[in-house]
Amino acid sequence: MNWERQFGLSGKTVAVTGGASGIGRGCAEFLLGVGASVAVFDLDEVKGREFEATSGGKARFFRCNVADEASVKAAVEGALATFGGLYGFVHCAGVIRRKSAPDLEEKDWNLVVDVSLKGAYLMAKHVMPVLAQGGGGSVVLIGSGWGVKGGPTAVSYCAAKGGVVNLTRALAIDHGAQNIRVNCVCPGDVDTPLLRDEARQLGYDLDKWLAESAERPIHRLGTPEDIAKAVYFFLSDLSPWASGSILVIDGGGTA
């Protein structure tokens, strides 16, 4: 069996939101390694252009605010003009505000929900017709362990990621007949700038915060590559009958 031919992504283009750093960057790098081309959608132009420059011509950066429909539409059109089509997308863009409801300002609620949940909807709105026209494809939404259980002082994040989990199921139902698979990967604590920013928001010592975050059955923090491997599983033909699935990757943290 030719593994790369059967399960690789050579000749396919995947859009990755939040692809300039963190889990999104890890996914983008891994996808390049299995033969895909990557359209990086992000607001961070410096990191996005740097990634593009080191990709050997296989990645292109498109400045995109996933919470704004005009920006998403323009980025998708730019990717189509550059690559000629899309095989799918991975929605990694996300932010977190560590506050309970009485302490959370409305603007911060809107920011968190708009990036994680509205962003997933806007990507689906503008990419699903492209995938359907091309005969199908695969979509992976990045949820969170806190999308399947609650967490402290993160009311907007928990709500947004819970919405992403159920949006996955709804999209899988609506688009299965178009040969589009939609699945969700829910990470636990992954060593990213977002996780480190949580320590700052909560006023915690960073080293203590990271050590406590690693306290789980598999005693370490996750890495972006850990999540990228699960994303690849859903994007590839390793999972041809998986759709509407919610996969928690958290070192046993929710066990």
Note down pLDDT in tens along the chain; length 255 residues: 676 777 889 999 999 999 999 999 999 999 999 999 999 999 999 999 999 999 999 999 999 999 999 999 999 999 999 999 999 999 999 999 999 999 999 999 999 999 999 999 999 999 999 999 999 999 999 999 999 999 999 999 999 999 999 999 999 999 999 999 999 999 999 999 999 999 999 999 999 999 999 999 999 999 999 999 999 999 999 999 999 999 999 999 999
Check residue 36 and give its pLDDT. 97
Check residue 6 and give its pLDDT. 76
Q: Give the N- to C-terminal CA distance of the chain in Å, as an integer.
A: 36
Place of tokens 């390049």: 32
232 is catalytic: no
- Burial profile 40-56: b = 16 or more Cβ within 10 angstroms, e = fewer: bbbbbeebbeebbeebe
Residues with Cβ within 8 Å of 212's Cβ and at least 6 positions away in sequence, in order, are none
In the chain, the domains with their CATH numbers are 10-186+224-249 (3.40.50.720)
Where is 28: in which H helix or E strand? helix 22-33
Check residue 4 and give its pLDDT. 73
pTM of the model: 0.97
Q: 87, 157, 204, 232: which one is catalytic?
A: 157
Helices (H), 119-238: 119-133, 155-175, 193-202, 206-213, 224-235
Q: How many residues does the chain have?
A: 255
Check residue 2 and give its pLDDT. 73
Check residue 154 and give its pLDDT. 98
Check residue 5 and give its pLDDT. 73
Check residue 248 and give its pLDDT. 98
